[in-house]
Structure 1
Amino acid sequence: MAYGRLNPFGLGNPVLLWQQMARIGWESQMVIAMRMAGMMGMVPQDAAEPTRMVAEKADAASEAMFAALKSAGRGDRADQVMAAALRPYRRRTKANVRRLTKKT
C-alpha cells in the first residue's frame, strides 16, 4: 500500500472509537435524565446520589488521565491512547445506567 492513501481495511479502530464515544454520549444523557428526575422527586433516588455524581467525575478524570499516559508511554497509536482514556468513562456510564434504571 502506498504512503498517504486511505486504507479501507484499517478503519476498524477509528470506527470503533467513534462508536464508543457515541455510546458514552448516549448513556451520559440517560444518566443525567434519571438523576434530574430523581432530584425533582419523580423517581426514587438515593440521598447520596448528588454527592456521588460530583465525586465520580474527579475519579473518572484521574483514571482516564492515568490510562492515557500509560498507553502513550507504551508507544501506542493515538486511537489506542484515546480508547484507553475513554474506558474509565465508559465503565462508569454503563454502571450508572444499569444502577439508575434497575427496578427497585
Structure 2
Amino acid sequence: MLFLLLLVLLAGGLLIGGIQRIFIRKENPDIEQLWAELDQQEWFKQLIEQPERNAWVVSDKESGLLQDPYFCKKILEKEVHRDMFIKYITEKTTK
C-alpha cells in the first residue's frame, strides 16, 4: 500500500514537471545579442582599450564567464556585478 502511494506521488510529480516544462518555458537569452549590448556599453569599451584586457575578454567569450548568458545579463543590469567583472579582468591582466 505504501509503495503504491509513493508510486502515485512520483508519477504526479513527473506529470506536473512535464506540464511545467511544456507550458511555462523560460527561454534563454541569445548570447550574441547580449555580447552586442556589452560592446555598446561605454564602460566595456574603456575596459577593452588595452590589448591584454581585450584578449582576456575574447577568451572569456569563447570559454569563460562571458559564455554564460545569465552572467552577461547580470553585468549589464547590475552595477555591483559589473564592478566585480571589471575588477576580475583588471586583476587577471595586471599579474
Tell me the TM-score normalised to structure 2 length: 0.30
Tell me the TM-score normalised to structure 1 length: 0.28
Which structure dedicates a bigger proportion of its chain to helix? 2
Bigger RCO (CA 8 Å, 6+ sep): 1
Larger Rg: 2
